[in-house]
Amino acid sequence: MTPVWLRKDGFTERVFGYLTPVNARRTRGGLAGGMTTNLTGRERVLAHLAGQPVDRLPLMPITMMYAVDQIGGRYGDYARDHRVLVEAQLRVAEKFGFDYVSVISDPAREAADCGAKVQYFEDQPPALVEHEARLADKTDLARLRPPDPLGGGRMTDRVQGVALLKERVKGEKLIEGWVEGPVAEAADLRGINTLMTDFFDDPAFVRDLFEFVIAMELRFARAQVEAGIDLMGVGDAAASLVGPQLYEEFVWPYEKKLVEGLHALGTKVRLHICGNTRPILAGMGRLGCDIVDLDYPSPLGEARAAMGPQQVLLGNLHPVQVLKGGTPEVVTAAVAECHRPAGPRYIVGAGCEVPRGTPEANLRALADYAHQHRP
């Protein structure tokens, strides 16, 4: 493996042999017929969100393990060293013509800074040790204080990643930050199985925990906004595990509070809830998010009917069966079938993360569809 070389100022000069000058040209690689445009990726996404005409569909698939593989890196380094993450994001965005870069890596950053026990691996994502959850004793919540996102922990590393991306992309790509949603972060701190019983056994505690989470995430978000993000991703995967009644009563008010708080900070919001969200699509549409990601179990036609014509939708190819296991022709047909029911308020992406080992030709087929089609 080629070593990581650093300049004296601490910024990455070369990681695994790559240095990607993302601002070196204005020609968008991959556009049909070599067509050029004056829109940067950042301008394209922001114009599309504002309902303005754009030259083509924005392209915003989530890549993490796939991204680090592009630079020959290890995922343990990607998750713990923002300089590796930045190089990987720049590389994959340029290679496939993405319109954005992101600092998403794993859900354990906030919990780790709260003192949760996290297990790290050389080439896999970090994992929270659930049987030793930070709030296994729920009375600890009263003594827990939101960590300082600039205090030198894992949250700080993400903020540093945003700042370095801001320096490197120079306005060419939209920069996405990331925070956990109320259910996801509460599950990280309490343990997913325990939290699910808390909804029934101690609803007051759940609400107190959600209040803590929202305050912490907005503090973390502010640091990322000040570092230079344009869009905040909110991951609330565990919200797909609660039924519609619990979602409306417990979850929706806190997701709404988070979305409104993020908008007040001056950032756009992208909601990503993994899994089957069909029972809560209408509620997700009422949150006022700028982008709603849909995983493959949630049909785009149902989402459009539930959320109305103006909600921007993103997704939702099956990441494994279609994107990784299909052919370029299958991918092209599948994304066209996503675009059709979603209509013009649509962004190209998979249902969730692009899996490690996805054939390059398949991801290029996804990218080419965006590069060759208007909304």
Report how far residue 254's alpha carbon sits from residue 258's, in angstroms, rounded to the nearest whole number: 6
Show the tokens assigned to 348.
């190209």
Residues 6+ apart with CB under 8 A from 83: 4, 6, 11, 12, 15, 164
Report how far residue 58's alpha carbon sits from residue 48's, in angstroms, rounded to the nearest whole number: 8
CA angle, 177 as apex, 334 and 143 as ends, to 5°? 125
What's residue 23's pLDDT?
A: 36
Show the tokens assigned to 247.
């979602």
The owner of tokens 């922990």 is 153
Burial class of residue 301 (count of CB atoms within 10 Å of its CB; 0-12, 13-18, 19+): middle
Cβ atoms of 75 and 125 closer than 8 Å: yes
3-state SS track over 273-307: ECCCCHHHHHHHHCCCCCEEEECCCCCHHHHHHHH
Cβ atoms of 270 and 235 closer than 8 Å: no
User: For the chain, what is the radius of gyration of the CA atoms?
Assistant: 20
Least confident of 29-33, 196-200, 250-254, 352-356: 29-33
At 133-190, the pLDDT tens digits run 999 999 999 999 999 999 999 999 999 999 999 999 999 999 999 999 999 999 999 9
Report how far residue 256's alpha carbon sits from residue 277's, in angstroms, rounded to the nearest whole number: 16
Percent of the chain topping pLDDT 90: 90
Cβ atoms of 354 and 323 closer than 8 Å: yes
At 50-96, the pLDDT tens digits run 999 999 999 999 999 999 999 999 999 999 999 999 999 999 999 99
Burial class of residue 26 (count of CB atoms within 10 Å of its CB; 0-12, 13-18, 19+): exposed
What's residue 146's pLDDT?
A: 96
In the DSSP assignment, the letter for residue 146 is P
Task: Say whether pLDDT at 328 is over 70.
Answer: yes
Report how far residue 248's alpha carbon sits from residue 202's, in angstroms, rounded to the nearest whole number: 17
Cβ atoms of 182 and 213 closer than 8 Å: yes
First to last CA, the chain: 42
At 268-285, the pLDDT tens digits run 999 999 999 999 999 999
At 2-51, the pLDDT tens digits run 333 232 233 333 333 333 333 333 333 333 333 345 899 999 999 999 99
Report how far residue 54's alpha carbon sits from residue 58's, in angstroms, rounded to the nearest whole number: 9
What's residue 38's pLDDT?
A: 81
Task: Write down the H helix ranges in 61-129.
Answer: 65-69, 75-80, 82-96, 109-113
CATH class of 38-372: alpha beta
Percent of the chain topping pLDDT 70: 90
Q: What is the largest CA-CA distance in the chain?
A: 63
Report how far residue 53's alpha carbon sits from residue 129's, in angstroms, rounded to the nearest whole number: 47
Report how far residue 85's alpha carbon sits from residue 87's, in angstroms, rounded to the nearest whole number: 6
What's residue 299's pLDDT?
A: 96
What's residue 37's pLDDT?
A: 58
Mean of all residue pLDDT scores within the chain: 91
Report how far residue 237's alpha carbon sits from residue 147's, in angstroms, rounded to the nearest whole number: 22
Report how far residue 253's alpha carbon sits from residue 58's, in angstroms, rounded to the nearest whole number: 30
Report how far residue 260's alpha carbon sits from residue 275's, in angstroms, rounded to the nearest whole number: 24
Cβ count near 268 (within 10 Å): 21
The phi, psi pair for 350, rounded to 5°, reads -85, 175
